Amino acid sequence: MPNTFTLIEAKTLTTSSASVVFSNIPSSYTDLKILYTGKTTDTAAQGTAMTYNAGASSVAGKYIIGDGSNPSTGNLGYMYVGSAFGTNGTANVFSATEIYIPNYTSSQVKSYICVNAAEAQSSTSYSNVIVGRDTGITAPLTSITLFSTSGNWITNCTFYLYGIKSS
Amino acid sequence: MAEALMVTEINCTTGEVIERPFTAEEISQREADLAVVAAEKAEREAEIARIEALKTSARTKLVAGEPLTPEEAATIVL
């Protein structure tokens, strides 16, 4: 079982960006973990997404989402990684997201698990649990892209990539 | 003129961070990704609308004493 946890890179955005890419990910770990806090320039809450190796993804998986009154579940149509509020959210409140990607250097399909909480303190909040996999990529992961499905990430969003391996 | 799409790229080997405009290839990929998102969203919304219509129909039939279809009956939580 991997038991070390190393920060590979961290970035706080200083300019608004449509996407954030972790590129040239070293292959020296067994698993990856991403933590990020997100908020967008859109006027509404939006889904956020991830792609591997800068390529189109072919996705399978499930999500459970709760918005405080209407919990629902469904199949993934893309690599959904939760919700983020835009300008409709509370100022300076960001969504919190954690993504775990095991065996990212394997030649198998790459799965992920994700937990996300998007909270606007004066409005609806969203909670997500997602389990998915990209069935189209069996090459080792060398880059991961994170983006909002509408709008850009705003300044002060934070992105962390950790590597995990056996000591 | 539309504002250029920007990407923040964090090179995990060198630690270098580059803020740059999307390449043409990245723009094409983004358009493809967002098309998939839009299709998935439309499908999900259609499914929600279909279930809501079944619930409404089931309620109406229950009040009127009419038989429900199996799909309508499946929307009732016992």
Q: Render chain B in DSSP notation, one character per residue.
A: -PPPPEEEEEETTT--EEEEEPPHHHHHHHHHHHHHHHHHHHHHHHHHHHHHHHHHHHHHHHHHTPPPPHHHHTT---
- When CB atoms are compared, the residue of A9, A54, A74 closest to B10 is A9
pLDDT band for position A20 (cuts 50, 70, 90): very high
pLDDT band for position B2 (cuts 50, 70, 90): low
Please give the span between the terminal C-alpha atoms of chain B, in angstroms, as a whole number: 57
pLDDT band for position A123 (cuts 50, 70, 90): low
CB contact under 8 A, B19 and A17: yes
- Closest residue, chain A, to B15 (C-alpha): A9
Q: Smallest CA–CA separation between A148 and chain B, in Å?
A: 9
Three-class HEC string of A63-89? EEEECCCCCEEEECCCCEEEEECCCCC
Each residue's pLDDT tens digit, B20-50: 999 999 999 889 889 988 988 888 888 888 9
CB contact under 8 A, B11 and A24: yes
Each residue's pLDDT tens digit, A143-154: 999 999 999 999
pLDDT at A120: 66
CB contact under 8 A, A47 and B37: yes
CB contact under 8 A, B8 and A19: yes
CB contact under 8 A, B33 and A8: no
Higher pLDDT, A119 or A111: A111
Average pLDDT, chain B: 90
Percent of chain A scored above 70 by pLDDT? 95
Region A93-115 average pLDDT: 94
pLDDT at A81: 94
Contact present, A40 and A150 (Cβ < 8 Å): yes
Q: Smallest CA–CA separation between B32 and chain A, in Å?
A: 8
Q: Smallest CA–CA separation between A151 and chain B, in Å?
A: 10
Each residue's pLDDT tens digit, A82-98: 999 999 888 899 999 99
Percent of chain A scored above 90 by pLDDT? 66
> What residues of chain B lie within 8 A of the CB of A78, using their CB?
33, 36-37, 40
- Closest residue, chain A, to B17 (C-alpha): A11
> Which pTM does this prediction carry?
0.88
